[in-house]
Amino acid sequence: MGLEYAFLRRGPLTMAPSQLGIFTRSDATQDRANLEFHVQPLSLDKFGDPLHRFPAFTMSVCNLRPTSRGTIRLKSADAATAPAIQPQYLSTEEDRTVAADSIRVARRIVSRPALAPYRPEEILPGPAVGNDDASLATAAGNVGTTIFHPVGTAKMGLPSDPMAVVDARLRVIGIDGLRVVDASIMPTITSGNTNSPAIMIGEKGAAMILEDARA
C-alpha cells in the first residue's frame, strides 16, 4: 500500500482516513444531532499501531456536547516542562449515557439489511459486551480515545469570570502585550470538527492585532 502510493500515487493512501461522516442523535429525546461518526475503511488496536490484516471498517463516534471537563496545570515555572493534563473523559453520568447510546446506534447501523451480504462481525467492543448502560459505558471507557480536538483551556470571558483567561479581543486578562489566538479560547466546544473555527479564530485574531497596532 505504501509503495503503491510512493511510486504510482494511487491506492488507499490517496484518500482521507475518514471517508464517511454521520451526524445523528444518540436517542429520540435529543432535539438535534449530538453525535458525529467518523467511518474509516480500516481498523487497528490504537492510533500508531499497524493496521489489522483483515478487511474491516471503524466507526469512531464523537460526543458533540460533552459535559465532562478536564484540567491542564503547570508543573513548573520552566516553560519547557510539559504540563499535567487530565482529560477526565466520561466523568459525568450524561457522557456515560451518551457513550452507551452511541455504541447502540453503531450496532443498529451495522445490523441494517444493506450490510447483511458482507456478514459484518463486531471486533470492539465485541458481541460479548451486553447492551445495558453499565456494560456499554464501561466498554466505551476501555476502547475510547482522543479525537484530537481539545478546546477551552484558556477560555474567553469577562474579567469577573475566575475561569476566563482572555477578554473579547483575545488579550490575556491582567497581562499587557499578550494574546492567545487558538482553539483554547473557545468557552465551549463547537458541535463538530474544530478545524474551521480554529482558522476563523486565527483570522479574527490577526485582524484584531492589526487594528490595535494601527490605533
For residue 22, the surrounding DSSP H or E stretch is strand 20-24
Tell me the per-residue pLDDT of 160-188, one tens digit each, with 9 for 90 and over: 999 999 999 999 999 999 999 999 999 99
Is residue 28's pLDDT more than 70?
A: yes
Q: What angle do CA 199, 31, 90 make, to 5 degrees?
A: 65
Catalytic residue flag (residue 149)? yes
What is the average pLDDT score of the chain?
93
Interacting residues of 156 by C-beta distance below 8 A, sequence separation 6+: 164, 165, 166, 167, 168, 170, 185, 186, 187
* CATH number assigned to the domain covering 1-143: 3.30.560.10
pTM of the entire structure? Answer: 0.86
- Using the predicted structure, report yes or no on whether residue 4 has a pLDDT greater than 90: no
Q: How confident is the model at residue 1 (pLDDT cuts 50, 70, 90)?
A: low
Give me the catalytic one of 25, 65, 149, 155: 149
Residues of the chain with CATH 3.30.560.10: 1-143
